[in-house]
Amino acid sequence: MSDRYTRQVLFYGIGNTGQKILMEKTAVLVGCGALGCTFANLLVRSGIKCLKIVDRDFIEESNLQRQSLFDEEDINKNLPKAVAAQKKLQKVNSQIQIEAIVADLNPSNIETILENANIVIDGTDNFETRFLINDYCVKHGIPWIYGACIGSIGLTMNIIPSKTPCLRCVLDTMPPFGTTETCDTAGIIAPIASMIASIQAAEALKILTENYDALNKGLVKIDLWRNEIKRLHTEEIWEKSDCVTCKHHHYEFLSKDRYSMTTALCGRNAIQILHPNGSKLDLIKLATRLGKVGEVSFNNFLLRIKIDKYEITVFPDGRSIITGTNDASLAKGLYAKYIGM
Amino acid sequence: MNYLDNAATTFPKPEIVYKTMDTFYRTLGANPGRSGHKTAVAAEKEIEDTRMVVTKLFGIKNSNRFIFTFNATDAINMGIKGLLKPGDHAITTCLEHNAVSRALNGLERKNIITVTKVGNSQDCFIDPDDIKNAITFKTRLIVMAHSPNVIGTIQPIQEIGRLARENNIIFMVDAAQTAGVCEIDVNRYCIDMLAFTGHKGPLGPTGTGGLYVGELVTLEPWREGGTGFEPASLSQPEELPFKLESGTPNTVGIAGLRAGIEYVLSRGIHTIRKHEQKLTEKLINALKDDPRFILYGTTDISKKVGILSINVKGFKPAEVGAILDQSFDIAVRPGLHCAPFAHQMLGTFPDGTVRISPGLFNTEADIDQLITALDKIARDKI
């Protein structure tokens, strides 16, 4: 073994054996934003066999404040996040395999993209994709690490199928579309993302080196502004849980039953996003929330917001028409960023 | 649900269509013309009975010249690609559905044929003189909709048919929006190829349709395979309908199509047309002098089928469609309706229009509800 990993090997929790095991493992990171950048950087340096980075977005100027793998040159080159991250990280560690996948993870491609994963890391910005990952991982018995940040608050939890509760045990139903704040409406400070991603990376090292006893248990919540660290013990939740996913094995997101539908509107430069369960949106509240980020107009039937060259029209049941693109994954990305899903 | 999207597909279907399909599939679901046993023969008979009923609808004299297809697009492709040869010229119009435009464009892009697209008048009619002026010595085909799906104006196909016949040109009509709603007689109108779909005016299920292939037309099959006829021969049979009907047909759909057409014939095409005219006229009268709405194409109801394309000022058509759906439970079709050139001619590209299309089972109350909803939308300024 080269000198590269000596300090990590010296660490009692890993050692030569741990490092060897680690170097045979494949991790898939879904979402390469603030959490994903920090996580990928830490994991690539630790020397796993393969890291796949899945992200549908391109880099924007407002990402640079917290997404530590990207720079101004990447924006000028109009690089997708996954590609920019891969290029940068491959320079850090040329000995491992790093794969960029520019795609929207969805029920149609998840079986291919997550195939061979020993662990899946959540760097997404929406609940729909998280519940989809949860379905896949519970179904195939693959550990995954939930992570989420907004403002100065961050959350993380390990999900080890059949050993810990799954995401749906803790968050039974997905919050209705259009009702959750996002980083693009409520803002975020960079340190909380680094902190949560660092916890995710440490937990990933434990899982990948098979140090299950060392794992952090329960849901961790940190607020760096109010100086609070809380832990929600989840053992009891799991005992009582009648979870559709991990107890009844109904994979509602994987089977598309509860997954949103995107349709290209006939010939137009627009995508419609529909939700199987609908929502009940308060357009006035939404207008207040979105007033900070763009030009908003609304009436009883709809709300419109202009963001750059796109226009998002939202209706009270949460359905939306995104004008200015024919790309369904870009439309979904905009929806997740500004309206929330 | 107040369903006003009958130009996309008619819904609901007559009860007899559901019942016929259910009974057929439970009792006669064999592969027609392949096995010779009782059920196979009965299934074959169902297809031949339907063929006879279709001939009645269009005045076709030789039922063997009627080919079952899976929809109008399938029929149009079969006709255009089976007929045109390298160097041929085809004339079409700017009001066509992509089924026609793209089939022609595909051949044009491969430099196999040349195409002339004829424009339309302000109120969306094609002038036969414009077609006449486009004819060259290479013109082999004139292909157009009887009534374009965006605006529903009824085109002068009789005059154009005569013109084609006089010039020894094949005349193909896309009757997707008129079959079962307007009188069509392939002989009187000099139609050499007639394409239609079963799930609109004929009130049948999706996956059915057909192509009439006149005596002057010889088509190369664009689909070859098993026909249940002359199985020992390696080459596709030359005899119609077998030449063009390869593969197991949509037998249950065809049974439903027969029930639909028989229902149409029993109600009377004239009665159905009058009903749709009455509803469309009511809608036109409510909207035409209201400055908040824009109506496209002629408002003369005697010259159109039950299709009205509109826009509400201040709203995109897709927005109006979504509001009607979720706040009023009314189904219409916003957008380009697979006919981008028609919308370019109307000046409604790329957003399109809101297309409203009442059918046989809509009532005046449905139209009243739509008028109230449109008024509420237009009133709620944004």
A34-48, A88-102, A137-151, A228-242: least confidently modelled range: A228-242
A183 is catalytic: yes
**pLDDT value at A268 more than 70:** no
Task: Report CB contact under 8 Å: B327, A316.
Answer: yes
For domain A3-240, give the CATH number.
3.40.50.720
Predicted local confidence at residue B223, as pLDDT: 87
Predicted local confidence at residue B231, as pLDDT: 72
C-alpha span between A50 and A54 (Å, rounded): 13
Chain B residue with CA closest to A312: the answer is B319
Residue B312's nearest CA partner among B328, B294, B329 is: B294
| A chain contacts of residue B377, beta-carbon cutoff 8 Å | 301
Task: Report CB contact under 8 Å: B382, A297.
Answer: yes
What are the sequence ranges of the domains in chain B? Answer: 2-10+268-379, 15-267
**pLDDT value at B44 more than 80:** yes
pTM flag (> 0.90) = no
Most B CBs within 10 A among A261, A265, A272, A296, hence the mutation to make, goes to A265
| A chain contacts of residue B344, beta-carbon cutoff 8 Å | none
Specify whether the CB–CB gap between B257 and B195 falls below 8 A: no
SS3 call for B100: helix
What DSSP element (H or E) covers A158?
A: strand A153-159
Predicted local confidence at residue B207, as pLDDT: 98
Q: Tell me, which fold does domain A261-339 have in CATH?
A: TATA-Binding Protein (3.30.310)
Q: Which residues contact A81 (CB under 8 A, 6 or more apart)?
A: A32, A33, A36, A53, A55, A57, A58, A59, A63, A67, A70
SS3 call for A263: strand
Specify whether the CB–CB gap between A181 and A339 falls below 8 A: no
**pLDDT value at A323 more than 70:** yes
C-alpha span between A126 and A30 (Å, rounded): 11
Supply φ then ψ for residue B226, to 5 degrees: -70, 135
A223 and chain B: CB distance < 8 Å anywhere? no
Amino acid B286 reads A
| A chain contacts of residue B319, beta-carbon cutoff 8 Å | 301-302, 313, 321
Task: Report CB contact under 8 Å: B350, A268.
Answer: yes
Task: Report CB contact under 8 Å: B338, A267.
Answer: yes
What are the sequence ranges of the domains in chain A? Answer: 3-240, 261-339
A108 and chain B: CB distance < 8 Å anywhere? no
Task: Report CB contact under 8 Å: A297, B323.
Answer: no
Residue B199's nearest CA partner among B336, B19, B72 is: B72
Token pair 């995954």 is found at A144
Range list of β-strands (E), B237-339: 293-296, 308-312, 330-331, 333-335
C-alpha span between A319 and A278 (Å, rounded): 7
Specify whether the CB–CB gap between A321 and A265 falls below 8 A: yes
How does pLDDT run across A1-44, given as a tens digit for each residue? 578 999 999 999 999 999 999 999 999 999 999 999 999 999 99
What is the average per-residue pLDDT within B41-51?
A: 91
| B chain contacts of residue A321, beta-carbon cutoff 8 Å | 316, 318-319, 322
Nearest CA-CA distance, residue A109 and chain B, Å: 28
Most A CBs within 10 A among B326, B336, B354, B381, hence the mutation to make, goes to B326
What is the average per-residue pLDDT within B284-307?
A: 96
How does pLDDT run across A287-300, given as a tens digit for each residue? 999 988 889 999 99
Sorting pLDDT into bands at 50, 70 and 90, what band is B28? confident
Quote the tokens at residue B318.
Answer: 């897709």
Predicted local confidence at residue A249, as pLDDT: 95
| A chain contacts of residue B316, beta-carbon cutoff 8 Å | 313, 321, 323
**pLDDT value at A59 more than 70:** yes
C-alpha span between B141 and A35 (Å, rounded): 62
Specify whether the CB–CB gap between B53 and B247 falls below 8 A: no
Nearest CA-CA distance, residue A208 and chain B, Å: 48
SS3 call for A113: helix
CA B141, B273, B99, B101 dihedral sign is positive
Q: Measured between alpha carbons, how far is residue B1 from residues A269, B10, B11, B220 in Å?
A: 28, 14, 11, 44
Angle, CA of B339, B345 and B348, to the nearest 5°: 75
What is the average per-residue pLDDT within B13-22?
A: 98
SS3 call for B301: helix
How does pLDDT run across A118-159, given as a tens digit for each residue? 999 999 999 999 999 999 999 999 999 999 999 999 999 999
Quote the tokens at residue A188.
Answer: 């975020």
A284 and chain B: CB distance < 8 Å anywhere? no
Average pLDDT, chain A: 93
**pLDDT value at B59 more than 60:** yes
Q: A3: which DSSP letter?
A: G
Task: Report CB contact under 8 Å: A267, B316.
Answer: no
**pLDDT value at A83 more than 70:** yes
Specify whether the CB–CB gap between A46 and A18 falls below 8 A: no
| B chain contacts of residue A306, beta-carbon cutoff 8 Å | none
How does pLDDT run across B182-206, given as a tens digit for each residue? 999 999 999 999 999 999 999 999 9
Predicted local confidence at residue B114, as pLDDT: 98
Q: Which is catalytic among the residues A183, A243, A246, A266?
A: A183
- Peptide bond just before B241 cis, omega within 30 deg: yes
Comparing A194 with B242, which gets the higher pLDDT?
A194
**pLDDT value at B326 more than 60:** yes
**pLDDT value at A267 more than 70:** no
| A chain contacts of residue B340, beta-carbon cutoff 8 Å | 267
Task: Report CB contact under 8 Å: B319, A323.
Answer: no
Q: Which of residues 312-341 of A touch B (CB under 8 A)?
A: 313, 315-317, 319, 321, 323
Residue B113's nearest CA partner among B80, B84, B143, B78 is: B84
Nearest CA-CA distance, residue B288 and chain A, Å: 24
Sorting pLDDT into bands at 50, 70 and 90, what band is A266? low
Residues of B with CB under 8 A from a CB of A: 316, 318-319, 322-323, 326-327, 334-338, 340, 350-352, 377, 380-382
Task: Report CB contact under 8 Å: B335, A300.
Answer: no
Task: Report CB contact under 8 Å: A268, B352.
Answer: yes
Q: Measured between alpha carbons, how far is residue B134 from residues A248, A256, B36, B124 in Å?
A: 68, 51, 51, 18
**pLDDT value at A117 more than 60:** yes
Task: Report CB contact under 8 Å: B382, A267.
Answer: no
Q: Tell me, which fold does domain B15-267 have in CATH?
A: Aspartate Aminotransferase; domain 2 (3.40.640)
Most A CBs within 10 A among B323, B324, B338, B381, hence the mutation to make, goes to B323
**pLDDT value at A47 more than 80:** yes
Domain B2-10+268-379: top CATH class: alpha beta
